[in-house]
């Protein structure tokens, strides 16, 4: 699991001898960025010069090495990259480079190029063909690919410094809307590996982020009517996808846990089949945890699995349910009892969508934020205490940092235990009682976060009773939850919850397993000794 924060990369491409490497070094120095030369990466892997690769193994081997080097750059941001002249002729290479940066094509007239390469020994594509005719023919073959760049700069009769200065000035003049948003990235190393991008304004650029996935032309977007009609998030996403040439089918489901049913999942799958979706296409979830769970479940079972992309729009979904590949629908007997593990190909968490969340729903997501700090990160807990007001104001910079850190915590746990056979159970801190409260009070009466907040308070009280956690740490937990508008009512008595505790998925050999806190930032899994012990803990937080 790796986290990065940086601006888009600048990718220099163009015909040979237009100055990509030379300009790239100078531009990187002017911008204070790292410079990456794809040819240098290739030579490092092959253990020989590019010219020798061409001479000894041929162009096909070089192109394979080139594609491999560019693949390794996927997700790399904030650098200046120089590519070989033919790199972007490969659509996959171009998609990877475009997803993370702005492409600038350097040009020069054929006569200038010929003069620059005449005495060079490292231009394998021109060996034996050092003529204007050969240069013009190659340039014509590549013109369409080069023309698709965000900017073209003619290097004829210009110094390296002047070309770099022109690119720098162009970048400075670009309006913010033209730049891919600054995003924090969490790399999740599962099979398949994928990235979580967290930033402000990602939905409008969703198409570029999907390019490296090479999904089919037809996509299905599952969302709520409000995100489509009132808030306009669905039109923003669909427009970004259609700009990339995708045919998009928009499917809406009512909000609420009632939508997470087998019947609704079957209806969605039918509509996707009728729309012509196939295994090369993809299912995209735009919404909160309900949409993510439901759309992910459909993606897992349709054609025995199609690519899934999650675009969570609630805080709860961004920090929790969108990470880890758990998809599910409900049964009358309990929540999430039918499900599948189906990892997303990409998660885009646009914190701009959090600005329109109702206060109660935003607070619900903060319960999971606090949970992650409690189970794994005392420093994050302190950060939440120090920045509680900025978080309540929904400051985009603070939210970006908080969401990314939460995703990183969950990703680390999921990487270690994808199928929830061991350590992943710690993510259920507060959920044993929380899920029972949700079911006992009827779904929708309390939010998931409100229920989990009460569950965490009960788990902390139980931990204090076992001398695992200090009363001071338990008090800090309760105080922070209250600052976020949570734990305002006592949990129901044990007699009300007991029926639903019996269906908890963490039961082992008939015994209820609890995630207990050892103090802020550390938890353990332990069986419940007696129901009297739980009854007393419930009374402690009443």
Determine which one of 424, 454, 476, 506 is catalytic: 424
28 within 8 A of 164, measured Cβ to Cβ? no
Residues paired with residue 505 on neighbouring β-strands, in sequence order? none
- Of the residues 123, 410, 454, 506, only one is catalytic, namely 410
Active site (annotated) includes residue 224: no
Question: What whole-number distance in Å separates Cα of residue 278 and Cα of residue 217?
Answer: 10
Question: Which two structure tokens, joined as six digits, stand for 125?
Answer: 């594509």
Report helix angle 359-376 to 396-416, nearest 10: 50
Is residue 466 annotated as a catalytic residue, yes or no?
no
What span, in angstroms and rounded, lies between the C-alpha atoms of 286 and 397? Answer: 22
- Per-residue buried b or exposed e for 26-47, using 16+ beta carbons within 10 Å of the residue's own CB: bbbeebebebbbbbebbbeebe
Measured CA to CA, the distance from residue 452 to residue 515 in angstroms comes to 12
Annotated catalytic residue 506: no
Which two three-digit tokens encode residue 337? 């009892």
Q: Position of tokens 């961004």?
A: 318
Active site residue 406: no
Q: Is 326 a catalytic residue?
A: yes
Cα–Cα distance, 7 to 367 (Å, whole number):
30
Residue 317 DSSP one-character state: I
Q: Which of 357, 386, 365 is nearest to 480 (CA)?
A: 386
- C-alpha of 21 from chain center: 31
Question: What six digits make up the tokens of 93?
Answer: 């290479």
Based on the residue annotation, tell me whether 431 is a catalytic residue of this protein: yes
428 a catalytic residue: yes
**Which one-letter DSSP state was computed for residue 126?**
G
Q: Residues 130, 226, 420, 533: which is the catalytic one?
A: 420
* Residue from 142, 205, 326, 405 carrying the catalytic annotation: 326
Nearest to 368 by CA among 268, 484, 276: 484
User: Measured between alpha carbons, how far is 49 from 47 in angstroms, rounded to an integer?
Assistant: 7
Which H or E run includes 80? Answer: strand 79-82
The active-site residue out of 76, 448, 476, 506 is: 448
CA distance 373 to 520: 7
**What token pair was written down for 123?**
């231009």
Give every CB contact of residue 516 below 8 A, 6+ residues apart in sequence.
459, 462, 463, 466, 468, 469, 523, 524, 525, 526
Rg of the chain (C-alpha set): 27
Task: Let me know if 304 is a catalytic residue.
Answer: yes
Options 368, 371, 438, 476, the catalytic residue: 368
Partner residues linked to 199 by β-bridges:
183, 350
Question: Given 3-state DSSP classes, what are the helix, strand and coil percentages for the chain, each rounded to the nearest 5?
Answer: 55, 20, 30
Distance CA 176, CA 140 (A): 33
Measured CA to CA, the distance from residue 89 to residue 79 in angstroms comes to 21
Q: Which of 205, 335, 435, 476 is catalytic?
A: 435
Q: Are 94 and 23 in contact (CB under 8 A)?
A: no
Give dist(CA 397, CA 59) in Å, integer.
46
Residues catalogued as catalytic: 304, 326, 368, 410, 420, 424, 428, 431, 435, 448
């Amino acid at each position: 699991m790796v986290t990065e924060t940086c601006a888009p990369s600048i990718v220099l491409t163009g015909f040979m001898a237009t100055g990509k490497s030379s300009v790239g070094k100078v531009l990187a120095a002017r911008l204070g960025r790292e410079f990456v030369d794809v040819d240098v990466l290739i030579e490092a892997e092959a253990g020989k010069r590019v010219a020798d690769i061409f001479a000894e193994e041929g162009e096909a081997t070089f192109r394979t090495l080139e594609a491999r080097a560019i693949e390794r750059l996927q997700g790399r941001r904030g650098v200046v990259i120089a590519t070989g002249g033919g790199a972007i002729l490969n659509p996959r290479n171009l998609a990877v480079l475009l997803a993370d940066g702005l492409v600038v094509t350097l040009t020069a007239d054929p006569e200038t190029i010929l003069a620059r390469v005449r005495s060079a020994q490292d231009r394998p594509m021109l060996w034996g063909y050092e003529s204007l005719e050969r240069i013009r023919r190659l340039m014509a073959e590549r013109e369409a690919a080069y023309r698709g760049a965000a900017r073209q700069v003619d290097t004829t009769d210009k110094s390296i410094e002047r070309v770099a200065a022109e690119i720098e000035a162009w970048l400075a003049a670009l309006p913010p809307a033209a730049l891919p948003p600054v995003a924090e990235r969490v790399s999740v190393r599962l099979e398949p590996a994928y990235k979580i991008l967290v930033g402000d304004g990602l939905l409008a650029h969703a198409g570029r982020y999907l390019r490296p996935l090479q999904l089919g032309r037809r996509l299905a977007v599952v969302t709520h009517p409000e995100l489509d009609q009132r808030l306009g998030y669905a039109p923003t996403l669909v427009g970004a996808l259609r700009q990339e040439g995708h045919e998009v089918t928009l499917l809406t489901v009512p909000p609420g846990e009632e939508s997470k049913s087998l019947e609704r999942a079957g209806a969605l799958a039918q509509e996707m089949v009728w729309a012509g979706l196939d295994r090369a296409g993809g299912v995209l979830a735009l919404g909160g945890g309900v949409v993510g769970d439901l759309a992910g479940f459909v993606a897992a079972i349709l054609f025995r699995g199609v690519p899934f992309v999650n675009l969570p729009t609630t805080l709860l979904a961004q920090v929790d349910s969108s990470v880890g590949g758990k998809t599910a629908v409900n049964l009358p007997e309990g929540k999430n009892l039918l499900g599948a593990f189906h990892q997303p190909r990409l998660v885009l968490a646009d914190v701009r969508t959090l600005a329109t969340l109702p206060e109660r729903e935003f607070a619900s997501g903060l319960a999971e934020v606090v949970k992650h700090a409690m189970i794994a990160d005392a420093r994050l807990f302190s950060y939440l205490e120090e920045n509680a007001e900025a978080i309540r104001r929904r400051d985009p910079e603070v939210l970006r940092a908080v969401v990314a850190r939460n995703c990183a915590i969950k990703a680390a746990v999921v990487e270690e235990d994808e199928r929830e056979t061991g350590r992943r159970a710690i993510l259920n801190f507060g959920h044993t009682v929380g899920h029972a409260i949700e079911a006992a009070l009827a779904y929708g009466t309390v939010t998931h976060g409100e229920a989990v907040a009460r569950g965490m308070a009960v788990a902390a009280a139980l931990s204090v009773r076992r001398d695992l956690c200090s009363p001071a740490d338990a008090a800090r937990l309760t105080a922070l939850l209250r600052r976020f508008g949570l734990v305002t009512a006592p949990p129901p008595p044990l007699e009300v919850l007991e029926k639903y505790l019996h269906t908890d998925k963490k039961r082992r050999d008939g015994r209820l397993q609890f995630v207990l806190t050892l103090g802020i930032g550390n938890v353990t899994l332990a069986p419940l000794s007696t129901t009297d012990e739980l009854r007393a803990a419930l009374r402690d937080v009443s």
